[in-house]
A and B are shown apart, each in its own frame.
Chain A
């Protein structure tokens, strides 16, 4: 069975400060892991993905995440927040093979303060 937990429902940071959005997963199989961002009334945009290659994954807009198997974590970070980063972020786990179903986390709403 697979599951994903986003540890914070809301995160507030000041513009220019680092961002950390936490995600822990549980998987019986080698997983794929994804981070998506969703702006209000918009669809999902892929930020980055881990698919059993390099454990440190770099994505778009300066985001990166590190796959830590020993900690079953896949936290999303960015060195310096921008106002445009304010949005909802979803961590997703999926098996590498099989049904391709995505298991979504409950989401973290990022607020960026001026």
Chain B
């Protein structure tokens, strides 16, 4: 149980285009989803937290207009990187959490999406 998928697993795009990454909780309803960014050989950096039906809460320094997050249902959140540039190239990981599940706040992680912007 508690499986989270991401699609695509990798994507290459041209500079200036937009890219959408999907995060799905396959066997549970995720009241909260998180988006992380990971640079090579570094730790995960939280970008934003999204609750179903609400606007995402972005961490300080993360551009809201650059990284659009939508959490339209209890099983799907999307991250759109708008007008992507080479510096947006990174490994993006989502996680999902079900409020109160098992009595504590475990996040279940997706396998990640490797974005390369040419």
Binding site for B on A (CB under 8 A): 32, 34, 36, 41-44, 46, 49, 51, 90, 94-102, 104-107, 109
Contact = CB atoms under 8 A, between A and B. Distances in A.
Interface of A is mostly: loop
Interface residues of B, number: 24
Nearest to A109: B41
Interface of B: 6, 32, 34, 41-44, 46, 49, 91, 93, 95, 97, 99, 103-107, 109-112, 114
Contact of A100 (B43, B97, B112): B97
B104 A104 contact: no
B44 A101 contact: no
12 contacts: A43-B112, A44-B109, A46-B109, A51-B103, A94-B105, A97-B105, A100-B32, A100-B97, A104-B44, A106-B42, A106-B43, A107-B43
Contact of B107 (A42, A102, A105): A102
Contacts of B111: 42-43
Contact of B114 (A32, A41, A44, A94): A41
A5 to B, nearest CB: 12
A100 B109 CA distance: 14
B43 A43 contact: no
A42 B112 contact: yes
Nearest to B10: A41
Contacts of B104: 32, 51, 96
Q: Which 10 A-B pairs have the closest CB atoms?
A: A100-B105, A43-B111, A44-B109, A51-B104, A43-B112, A104-B43, A106-B43, A104-B44, A107-B43, A100-B97
